[in-house]
């Protein structure tokens, strides 16, 4: 059964129309119809919201065997295994990094958090719908004075209230390194690329981990004058691509220049 069939089945079991489901997700009824007919596939953010709304696992929604998605997604390299699964369950959601209201607590535990990146007066991914549960609840902001980590709000049902909270602020002198790497999103969700950012500071020797649904911040961070004195860790191949500073062709450059990219869900 494809994801569209599962969405239709769960929607009908819930007794709601395509229009009612679309209104909850702040999208058009036609989008729901295309999903159910198999003409398009929901983006990651909507799959997360749908799984939470229908109270099913991501595996069930996308038609994978039970727990396969989560076990690979939160594998041992992410301080994972059974303990991570417990964290997911206690947060009451299948995807803790977006739905949790305790972003700072998860960062302290070494969990990788879905985030937006603010740099050069722009936010990435651009055009993201904020304040909907399942969307990034965190902004990594790079400004003139340093780096700030901001929580956007508190999740309530399918929505997020606008209640910003500054979680961390670091001067550039307090940043030991910024590590950038590119991963593939599982092909069930379209075979997209995502950016991993590891921010190591000299405060408590902590490493804050983020994943960004855009590759453009990698180029901006690599070439930013603000970060000229900060140690940036990337592979040699990725460094050569980022140094070209081709913002609009980054996805094509990654496709051509990096032969073997690990899957996001495999955490390699």
Rounded to whole angstroms, what are the CA distances from 130 to 3, 15, 34, 60, 123? 24, 27, 23, 26, 11
Give percent helix, percent strand, percent coil of the chain, each to the nearest 5: 40, 25, 30
Is residue 113 scored above 70 in pLDDT? Answer: yes
User: Quick one: pLDDT at residue 166?
Assistant: 94
Quick one: which of 234, 226, 215 has its CA closest to 147? 226
User: Quick one: pLDDT at residue 70?
Assistant: 41
The better pLDDT of the pair 246, 100 is held by 246
Highest-confidence range of 18-27, 179-188, 229-238, by mean pLDDT? Answer: 229-238
Is residue 220 scored above 90 in pLDDT? Answer: yes
User: Quick one: pLDDT at residue 266?
Assistant: 38
Is residue 13 scored above 50 in pLDDT? Answer: yes
**Rounded Cα gap, residues 15 and 140, in angstroms:** 39
Residue written as token pair 């089945």: 9
**Rounded Cα gap, residues 261 and 268, in angstroms:** 9
The better pLDDT of the pair 55, 29 is held by 29
Q: For a pLDDT cut of 70, what percent of the chain falls above it?
A: 72
Region 33-56 average pLDDT: 83
The better pLDDT of the pair 22, 160 is held by 22
User: Tokens at residue 54, please?
Assistant: 């229908």
DSSP for 153-210 reads: EEEETTEEEEEEEEEEEE-GGGEEEEEEEEEEPPGGGTS-EEEEEEEEESSTT-EEEE
Rounded to whole angstroms, what are the CA distances from 103 to 78, 92, 97, 211, 240? 16, 14, 7, 13, 33
Question: Taking the model in full, what pTM does it have?
Answer: 0.64
Whether 188 and 44 have beta carbons less than 8 Å apart is answered as no
Q: For residue 187, name the pLDDT band (cuts at 50, 70, 90).
A: very low
Give the least confident one: 187-196, 234-243, 246-255: 187-196
**Rounded Cα gap, residues 247 and 155, in angstroms:** 33
Is residue 118 scored above 60 in pLDDT? Answer: yes
Is residue 41 scored above 90 in pLDDT? Answer: no
Q: For a pLDDT cut of 90, what percent of the chain falls above it?
A: 33
Q: For residue 267, name the pLDDT band (cuts at 50, 70, 90).
A: very low
Residue written as token pair 């929607």: 11
Rounded to whole angstroms, what are the CA distances from 14 to 57, 79, 156, 169, 226? 16, 36, 20, 44, 51
The structural domains of the chain, ordered by start, are 3-68 (1.10.260.40), 96-266 (no CATH)
What is Dmax (Cα atoms) for the chain? 57
Is residue 78 scored above 60 in pLDDT? Answer: no
């Amino acid at each position: 059964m494809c994801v569209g069939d599962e969405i239709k089945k769960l929607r009908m079991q819930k007794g709601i129309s395509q229009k009612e489901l679309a209104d909850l997700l702040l999208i058009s009824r036609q989008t729901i119809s295309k999903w159910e007919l198999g003409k398009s596939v929901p983006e990651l953010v909507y799959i997360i919201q749908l799984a939470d709304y229908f109270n099913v696992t991501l595996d069930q929604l996308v038609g994978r065997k039970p727990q396969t998605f989560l076990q690979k997604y939160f594998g041992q390299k992410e301080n994972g295994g059974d303990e991570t699964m417990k964290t997911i369950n206690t947060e009451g959601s299948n995807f803790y990094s977006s739905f949790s209201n305790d972003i700072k607590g998860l960062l302290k535990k070494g969990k990788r958090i879905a985030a937006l990146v603010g740099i050069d007066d722009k936010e990435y991914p651009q055009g993201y719908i904020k304040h909907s549960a399942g969307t990034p609840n965190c902004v990594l902001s790079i400004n003139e004075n340093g780096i700030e980590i901001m929580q956007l709000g508190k999740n309530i049902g399918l929505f997020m209230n606008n209640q910003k909270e500054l979680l961390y602020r670091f001067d550039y002198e307090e940043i030991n390194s910024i590590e950038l790497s590119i991963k593939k999103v599982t092909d069930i969700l379209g075979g997209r690329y995502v950016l991993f950012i590891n921010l190591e500071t000299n405060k408590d020797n902590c490493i804050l981990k983020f994943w960004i649904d855009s590759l453009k911040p990698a180029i901006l961070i690599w070439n930013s004058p603000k970060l000229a004195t900060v140690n940036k860790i990337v592979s040699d191949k990725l460094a050569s691509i980022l140094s070209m500073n081709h913002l609009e062709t980054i996805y094509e450059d990654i496709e051509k220049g990096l032969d073997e990219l690990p899957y996001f869900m495999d955490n390699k």
